[in-house]
Amino acid sequence: MLITSLLIVFVYFLMNVGLVLAWLFFKPSASKESDLKIQHSKTIQVEFSIIIPVRNEAKGILFLLQDLEKQTFPKDKFEVIIADDDSTDETLKIVRAFQKNSSINLIINQLPIKVNNTSPKKRAIDSSIQLAKGQLITTTDGDCRVGERWLETIANFQTETGAYLISGAVTFCENQEIKEKSFIQRIAHSVIEKTQIIEFASLIGTGACAMFIGKPNMCNGANLTYLKSVFHEVDGFVGNEALASGDDEFLMHKVTAKYPRKVQFLKSQDVIVETQALDSWKSFYNQRKRWASKWQHYNNWQTTALAVFVFSANFILPLAFSFWLLAFISTKLFCLILLLKFSAEFIFLALIVSFLRKKHLIWLIPFVQIVYPFYVTFFGIVAQGKSEYMWKGRKLK
Same domain, 273 and 336: no
- Domain-embedded: residue 25: no
**Mean pLDDT to the nearest integer, 12-32:** 86
Range(s) of the domain holding residue 145: 30-297
For residue 165, pLDDT over 90 is answered with yes
Q: Which amino acid is at 320?
A: A
Same domain, 197 and 108: yes
Same domain, 191 and 257: yes
Same domain, 190 and 224: yes
How confident is the model at residue 375, as a pLDDT? Answer: 76
Model pLDDT for residues 265-285, shown as the tens digit of each residue: 999 999 999 998 876 666 666
Q: What is the mean pLDDT of the chain?
A: 86
**Mean pLDDT to the nearest integer, 102-125:** 87
How confident is the model at residue 191, as a pLDDT? Answer: 78
Q: State the Cα–Cα distance between residues 278 and 190, nearest whole angstrom.
A: 11
Residues 99, 155, 49: CA angle, nearest 5 degrees = 35
Radius of gyration in angstroms for the set of CA atoms belonging to the chain, rounded to a whole number:
21
Same domain, 307 and 292: no
Same domain, 259 and 362: no
- Domain-embedded: residue 146: yes
How confident is the model at residue 176, as a pLDDT? Answer: 56
- Among 240, 270, 297, give the residue marking a domain's end: 297
Model pLDDT for residues 227-245, shown as the tens digit of each residue: 999 999 999 998 876 675 6
How confident is the model at residue 310, as a pLDDT? Answer: 87
How confident is the model at residue 366, as a pLDDT? Answer: 94
**Lowest mean per-residue pLDDT among 93-97, 197-201, 232-236, 379-383:** 379-383
Model pLDDT for residues 54-66, shown as the tens digit of each residue: 999 999 999 999 9
- Among 278, 297, 316, give the residue marking a domain's end: 297
Give this prediction's pTM.
0.88
- Domain-embedded: residue 383: no
How confident is the model at residue 293, as a pLDDT? Answer: 57
How confident is the model at residue 4, as a pLDDT? Answer: 87
For residue 188, pLDDT over 90 is answered with no
- Domain-embedded: residue 216: yes
- Among 275, 297, 319, give the residue marking a domain's end: 297
How confident is the model at residue 33, as a pLDDT? Answer: 45
Same domain, 9 and 72: no
Same domain, 292 and 162: yes
Q: Given pLDDT bands bounded at 50, 70 and 90, which one contains residue 346?
A: very high
Q: State the Cα–Cα distance between residues 71 and 147, nearest whole angstrom.
A: 8
Are 27 and 331 in contact, with CB atoms under 8 Å apart?
A: no
CATH number of the domain within which 80 lies? 3.90.550.10
- Domain-embedded: residue 159: yes
How confident is the model at residue 216, as a pLDDT? Answer: 92
Q: State the Cα–Cα distance between residues 125 and 139, nearest whole angstrom.
A: 8
How confident is the model at residue 333, as a pLDDT? Answer: 93
Same domain, 291 and 358: no
Same domain, 14 and 61: no
Same domain, 219 and 362: no
Q: Given pLDDT bands bounded at 50, 70 and 90, which one contains residue 372?
A: confident
Better pLDDT: 113 or 136: 136
- Domain-embedded: residue 244: yes
Same domain, 152 and 197: yes
**Mean pLDDT to the nearest integer, 238-267:** 86
Quote the number of domains for the chain: 2
For residue 143, pLDDT over 60 is answered with yes
- Domain-embedded: residue 121: yes
**Mean pLDDT to the nearest integer, 157-170:** 96
